[in-house]
Copies of this chain bind each other. A is one copy, B any other.
């Protein structure tokens, strides 16, 4: 898809751990959102990037901000409950209208992702810092453009293991191997309404995941993939009084 216009990106982060846990502040001094936003701007100057966090009014996601967002990235972990239901509903409606959504790591448990999936989105986990290999199972997919080789390797990660309670993804892009014995569907695409969704597993706050060049490349590719030049089609329960068939009624 040619993108001559800017892609308007909003990076949402609850921004709790970076301000409360010194080991995290060290990795993300200005917050995960700024690390991600800076990487996007650097790798794709065609993106117009803003950030938003939990503590801002309306969590930084007013109707105007969401209406002006083409692709939303979401990182949350400890504060899912604190996200207001009406903001979730607003974002959910925007996805159905065509706003792309990239769901990062622990945001599998966000209200927004759970609402779009219709399942619990729960999984197993272990936080000891173990080797992770994200194997490519969909070579050639635009989200994986520029990733050399057969897997992305993260020397230390928090394990997520199956069973991951999601609907069957539309397409499975990455499967993770963990040193401790588990596997996980780490890169999954879904479509809801006109909106494209990408779930991407890595990103535990105590590891410098969002500084990793291949992780950044995947995020930038995912933004391009998730961008839908919106049509004007609405799913709207419309009553059609007349037959469209010119021969009938």
Assuming the contacts A128-B249, A248-B179, asked whether A163 and B1 have C-beta atoms less than 8 A apart, the reply is no
Assuming the contacts A123-B237, A163-B233, asked whether A180 and B244 have C-beta atoms less than 8 A apart, the reply is yes
Determine the main DSSP class of A at the interface with B: loop
Question: For residue A190, which residues in chain B have a CB less than 8 angstroms away from its CB?
Answer: 167
Stretch at the interface among A8-16, A63-71, A168-176: A168-176
Question: For residue A98, which residues in chain B have a CB less than 8 angstroms away from its CB?
Answer: 140
Provide the bound-state CA to CA distance between A145 and B148, in Å: 31
Within 8 A of B (CB), among A153-186: 159, 161-165, 167-168, 170-172, 175-183, 185
- What's the minimum C-beta distance from A171 to chain B, rounded to whole angstroms? 6
Q: Is B225 within 8 A of A1, CB to CB? A: yes
Within 8 A of B (CB), among A96-131: 96, 98, 109, 115-120, 122-126, 128, 130-131
- What's the minimum C-beta distance from A179 to chain B, rounded to whole angstroms? 6
Provide the bound-state CA to CA distance between A96 and B126, in Å: 24
- Tell me if A230 is interfacial: C-beta within 8 Å of chain B: yes
- What's the minimum C-beta distance from A38 to chain B, rounded to whole angstroms? 20
- Tell me if A20 is interfacial: C-beta within 8 Å of chain B: no
Within 8 A of B (CB), among A208-235: 224-225, 228-233, 235
Tell me which of A1, A183, A241 has the highest count of chain B C-beta atoms within 10 A of its own C-beta.
Answer: A183
Q: Is A233 within 8 A of B183, CB to CB? A: no
Tell me which of A150, A177, A180, A247 has the highest count of chain B C-beta atoms within 10 A of its own C-beta.
Answer: A177
Question: For residue A1, which residues in chain B have a CB less than 8 angstroms away from its CB?
Answer: 1, 3, 142, 145, 224-225
Provide the bound-state CA to CA distance between A228 and B238, in Å: 36
Provide the bound-state CA to CA distance between A8 and B127, in Å: 42
Interchain CB contact (< 8 A) of A130 among B159, B175, B194, B243: B243
Q: Is B179 within 8 A of A243, CB to CB? A: yes
Assuming the contacts A131-B247, A224-B1, A247-B248, asked whether A231 and B193 have C-beta atoms less than 8 A apart, the reply is no
- Tell me if A51 is interfacial: C-beta within 8 Å of chain B: no
- Tell me if A35 is interfacial: C-beta within 8 Å of chain B: no
- Tell me if A25 is interfacial: C-beta within 8 Å of chain B: no
Question: For residue A115, which residues in chain B have a CB less than 8 angstroms away from its CB?
Answer: 118
Q: Is B183 within 8 A of A163, CB to CB? A: no
Q: Is B235 within 8 A of A122, CB to CB? A: yes
Question: For residue A96, which residues in chain B have a CB less than 8 angstroms away from its CB?
Answer: 119-120, 165
Q: Is A185 within 8 A of B137, CB to CB? A: yes
